[in-house]
Structure 1
Amino acid sequence: MKRSFENPLIGDKVYFTKYATEPGSPASIIDVELKPGGGNGLHYHKTFAEHFECLEGELSIQVGKEILRLLPGETATAPAGSLHRFFNASAQPNRFRVTIDPGHPGFENTLKIAYGLASDGHVNKAGMPKKLWHMGTIILLSDTNLPGFFSLIQRPLAWMARRAMADGRFKRELEPYTR
């Protein structure tokens, strides 16, 4: 099973240390290399918590309104339902581990899909999938929920994703990335 994925557009790398379905704890464990300025937007997950551990460099985590700066060996948790994001505000790359508890195969697959789409040129310059149903699938499978204005478009995107799953587009276009 492939474990390492890179997003050539933004230069981030992920390595699956443990998939949720593998023996041991039911967690998903992912090591991430993040370039300076990299990160994600505010979001939350209803069904799992994310535990972050800085391995190298400096990692910034926002949970709610609080911003934490982690150095190697330091940890932070975004409980299920909490608005959060991670980012690299330093001038150097960083490396961190995120443990998804309980593990979430859908979240694992969305990383593979998103990085695969980027590798194959199916995203715009901002890294967003060119097809709206692709974005809807990523959001739906990963239990990623968006705040504010974006919460208004989340339901139509999820509907598009479900339709693509029903009519076979998901199986043809996105499922191959999950293998």
Structure 2
Amino acid sequence: MTKKHKPIVHGPGQGEHNSAFGLNRYFRVTPEHTGGAFCIFEEEIEEGAGPPLHIHHTEQEVFTVLSGSVKFHCDGEETVAGPGTTALIPAGARHAFRGIGPGISRVLVMLVAGKGEGFFRDVETEGLSPKNGMPRINEIAAEYSVEFVGPPID
């Protein structure tokens, strides 16, 4: 008998919610769905918000801007991306991003390979933020081959 497959389908704002680092995030396709090959999540970035400068040592990060505008910083170069734009951040690149709006920008993010999603789960579970727990966040990040190397970008 042939195994019947079912699609994984999530619309905007659907999927498991996560708010690590104060950003609304919705896990749409998880590493469990893909055998660890990749994960996809939607992220809402408030104007002026974004993570500290960091490196994913083993994962590539692909962003597609759905609405608003986002500034990407990658190894010293900056680009502003609007709706429909896709940006690839290679593994090992020092990078960060910042919502420049207007208002909330929405991006679809794919991590390849997909284990980095667990970082966001762990940070939220422990109730951490850069203001109250950066030493512990760095410990968790190391478990996912992520390293924070500087402040957020302007």
Does the 8 Å CA contact 1:110/1:138 hold for their aligned counterparts? yes
Counterpart check, 1:45 vs 2:56: yes
Q: Which of residues 1, 9, 17 in structure 2 aligns to 1:4?
A: 17
Structure 2 partner of 1:109: 118
- Higher percent of residues as strand: 2
Alignment of structure 1 residues 104-143 onto 2, 5 Å? 104=115, 107-118=116-127, 123=129, 126-129=130-133, 132=135, 134-143=136-145
User: RCO (CA 8 Å, sep 6+): is it higher in 1 or 2?
Assistant: 2
RMSD over aligned CA atoms reads: 2.3
Q: Secondary structure at the match of 1:21?
A: helix
Deviation, structure 1 residue 146: 3.2
Give the TM-score, by structure 1 length. 0.67
Distance 2:69 2:97 in 1: 11
Alignment of structure 1 residues 13-28 onto 2, 5 Å? 13-23=24-34, 26-28=37-39
Does the 8 Å CA contact 1:117/1:129 hold for their aligned counterparts? no
Does the 8 Å CA contact 2:62/2:111 hold for their aligned counterparts? yes
Q: Secondary structure at the match of 1:146?
A: strand
Flag as ranges the 4+ runs of structure 1 deviating above 4 A. Answer: none
Alignment: residue pair count: 136
Structure 2 partner of 1:74: 85
Q: Secondary structure at the match of 2:137?
A: helix
Distance 2:64 2:35 in 1: 19
Does the 8 Å CA contact 1:40/1:85 hold for their aligned counterparts? yes
Does the 8 Å CA contact 2:47/2:103 hold for their aligned counterparts? yes
Compared with structure 1, are the counterparts of its residues 21 and 102 closer, same or farther at alpha carbon in structure 2 (3 Å cutoff)? same
Give the TM-score, by structure 2 length. 0.77
What 5-or-longer segments of structure 1 have no aligned partner? 149-179
Deviation, structure 1 residue 25: 8.1
- Higher percent of residues as helix: 1
